[in-house]
Chain A
Amino acid sequence: MSKQCFAVLLVIIVCPALVFGAGTVTGKITYTGTPAKMKPIDMSKEPSCAKQHTTPVTTEAVVTGANNTLANVVVYISAGAPDESSVPSQAVTYTQKGCQYIPHVLPMRTGQELKVVNDDQTSHNIHPLAKVNHEWNKSQPPGTPPLSEKFDKEEFIPVKCNVHPWMHGYFVVLKTSHYAVSGADGTFKLPDLPPGKYTLTAWQEDYGTQTQDVTISGSESKTVDFSFKAKPY
């Protein structure tokens, strides 16, 4: 009986959120102008990584797609996000493979578990150059178990490996779980937004941030596009 009661209660609590709270924001990130050419990476000093790549590897500060689209842009709700006291229990994973970071840009919630994996046959050191959070620097030789870490404060943290100076990436630590990263086609999707007025922020590591406001009422879908001005250098 009490179990049924509980189930009914759960439906009453959850249903409104499902019915009225399924707003979605989708959009596309593009650029205008000419982005700087990404620099080729010479991995010959690390043969175990070099042999993993059949095509030339370049830096990933600006990753573009067809029709001037931009990948690796983090879009998140920077103001008006519904109260989210609970931190996702599943970890986000950052993999070192072929002496590159996968993904190049990794968003996560403050306090969420971050797992760092070394898939390479070489030692890496994971060195997040945090300023608001704590800077730390850990060695991860091949075959060692994943590192488990977390960050408590919102920050865009550059990550590097000092052994392999071409390795660069970002931890994007956010106070919200409503975030997305644009794909190769520049698109992103922020689902499950309850009705409300939100500020969306789009962040690109070289081009900085842009914001736009959006109002969601009911379970509608809205489109918000961002356009960055490319830096030629």
Chain B
Amino acid sequence: MNYYQTELTRIRNQFFAKEDLIKRVIHGKRFIDSNFSKRLNLNTVAGEAYIAKFHFIRTFKTFYGLTPYQYLTSVRIQSAKKLLRRNHNVSEVCLAVGFESVNSFTNLFKKITGTPPAYFRSSQNTKSNFR
């Protein structure tokens, strides 16, 4: 074993020994990946993972660096960007990625990406017209 493999083994044994818990957290994340476009709340996701809500939040953040809510938002915004690049209109995209209000979608999109969704859509489509 080289130095790196020795370190990987040490870290795995020290920090990732609870295999069952890890499997459940991964299951919770995959549930978000497959259901982000639906109305989701934390109780549902934690329930899917068979972990108590606050324990799920803490563990998810430890493994992925984001809370489940932050992760859900990030998946929704990434998906919204893809749809906006394909020239879908903002209210259509808002509903397709799981937001219920165009206002909250627009505010969150702007906060995360730095531009409002309508501007993002038009700038992306202007770019593609020049290609």
Q: Do A and B bind each other?
A: no
Q: What residues make up the interface of B, taking CB atoms closer than 8 Å to A?
A: none
